[in-house]
Amino acid sequence: MSSTISSTPSAGNTVISSTGIGSGLDINGIVTSLTRAAGLAQNTQLSDRKRTLTAQVSAYGTFSSALSTLQATLTTLETPSTLAGRTATVSDDKVASGSATAGAIPAQYSLQVQNLATAASLASQPVSSGTTAVGTGTLTIAVGGNSASISIDSTNNTLAGIAAAINSAPNNPGVSASILTTSAGARLVLTGNTTGAANAITVTPSGGDGGLAALTYDPANGVTKLTQTQAATDANFSVNGFAATSPSNQVTSAISGVTLNLLGTTAANTPATLTIGNDTTGAQASISTFVTALNGLITSIQSLTGYNPSTKTAGPLLGNATLQSFQSRLSTILDQVKSGNTSTGTSLASLGITANTEGTYSTNTTTLGNALTASVASVGNFFGGANGIATQLNSLINGYTQPGGLLDSINKGLQSSLTDVANQQAALNARLAIYSATLTKEYNAVDAAVALLKQTQTYLTAQFNPNSATSSPSSNSSLSSGTLSTGG
């Protein structure tokens, strides 16, 4: 007897139909684990590098933000005259109010106001109502050097229509028209928009039916059909007994650097007192804002470069030479002492600004207030000017924060390193993908071979040990695509 077994599968009957079907192994799991193990060391290295670089980018961002916050407070301090602001107060707030620029000289002045500046106001004779027709023609209204000619026809010849035409005139010279209704009837009221003797109002009619003549006001020619209820006048006042006038009640030319808002008149020989003083409140607020921002910067640096022994956590910039250099230069500026009167600003300490045990600064508001009261100019010179500490700090910060500065260069370097890490990660992922595909192919080939061996084993067992067969008589038929022949 002889037998021949062919175990070659046909093209349409693939032996292996799914991963692991022959060997029973979890090929996907094995390949995944081997691939992960192959890339573990470099993946860990790249992840750690990316985490460190990202933390440094964030840390430098925090540092830069703190620098910008401090720098914003230096603008006022850099210019002594800006810090040395002025106040203007009037003893009688019903007479006037005032304001002063930093250029105003502290002093006291007597102020008397004889009359306020006023705008002209004219009123017509009363008619029965606002809808009463007045007349047609052209009204020429002049205020100061400006004038406008307004056409009045049958569509707008009533008192109300004339008022509307004046108000809507595109070249209105500066007059507001309204209707005043009293028990006597309705009147047209013209009010100038600008005070001052030069802004008197004249009204001259022409053409039409002649009815507009009732609205004439031309005192130069002796025609005043309208009644002047208020003349256009300049304000008359005196400062330290010297007379002055102003077309406006806001006076900017009387005292250098001082703006007066005239509100009312004074009684004869009873002047109000105008006091120009130092604005220590504003200066104190500016300095306090500076100290707060300075403390914020110092706290940020401590957090970024420090080490917490309780949590055993180091700041992302621990030992960083850039921040160490900045701290050293910052301390040099803050610790300097200038020559001068120790009570009016030769050092931060003389202004009541002292370092505490945490490394930040505290402000004694009483000491600072006394220094400002004694000489706000001296305090301004300590902070501002060519050698003021605010000027020096601004120069120091600019070197770090300006475009192309140190922080800009550092950030570009960190971003470049992050890009390099991303490229390395992409290259590693590509290599691992190839490695995974190769492993999968090899394991699938092994699995196919094992499946073929199992088929052969099953067939041989059935042939040499018939009692173990569990299939129907057809189990003696060909296995897969193999054939069996016997002879005696």
The pLDDT score that the predictor gives to residue 479 is 38
Q: Among the listed ranges 164-173, 178-187, 241-250, 308-317, which one has the minimum average pLDDT value?
A: 308-317
Strand order in 217-218's β-sheet?
146-152, 137-143, 201-206, 217-218, 223-224
471 vs 396, more confident = 396
The four Cα atoms 370, 376, 378, 379 give a dihedral, to 10 degrees, of: 70
Contact 176, 199 (CB under 8 A): no
| pLDDT, average across residues 411-440 | 94
Question: How far, in Å, are 78, 80, 131, 233, 366 from residue 370 at the CA level?
Answer: 21, 18, 69, 46, 6
The pLDDT score that the predictor gives to residue 91 is 97
- Phi, psi (deg, nearest 5) at residue 236: -120, 125
pLDDT-based confidence at residue 140 (cuts at 50, 70, 90) = very high
**Per-residue model confidence as pLDDT tens digits over 3-61:** 333 333 433 333 333 445 666 778 899 999 999 999 999 999 999 999 999 999 999 99
For residue 121, is pLDDT > 70? Answer: yes
Contact residues for 220 (Cβ-Cβ < 8 A; gap 6+): 202
Cβ neighbourhood burial of 27 (10 Å; 0-12, 13-18, 19+): buried
Averaged pLDDT of the chain: 88
Percent of the chain at pLDDT > 70 equals 89
The pLDDT score that the predictor gives to residue 21 is 63
**Per-residue model confidence as pLDDT tens digits over 190-223:** 999 999 999 999 999 999 999 999 999 999 999 9
The pLDDT score that the predictor gives to residue 485 is 39
The pLDDT score that the predictor gives to residue 435 is 93
Q: Where are the alpha helices (DSSP H) in 169-258?
A: none
The pLDDT score that the predictor gives to residue 22 is 65
pLDDT-based confidence at residue 336 (cuts at 50, 70, 90) = confident
| pLDDT, average across residues 326-355 | 81
474 vs 99, more confident = 99
345 vs 392, more confident = 392
For residue 126, is pLDDT > 60? Answer: yes
184 vs 11, more confident = 184
Q: Is the pTM of this model over 0.75?
A: no
Q: How far apart are CA 304 and CA 312, in angstroms?
A: 14
Q: Where are the alpha helices (DSSP H) in 228-278?
A: none
**Per-residue model confidence as pLDDT tens digits over 253-307:** 999 999 999 999 999 999 999 999 888 888 899 999 999 999 999 999 999 999 9
Q: How far apart are CA 55 and CA 265, in angstroms?
A: 68
Q: Among the listed ranges 25-29, 137-141, 180-184, which one has the minimum average pLDDT value?
A: 25-29
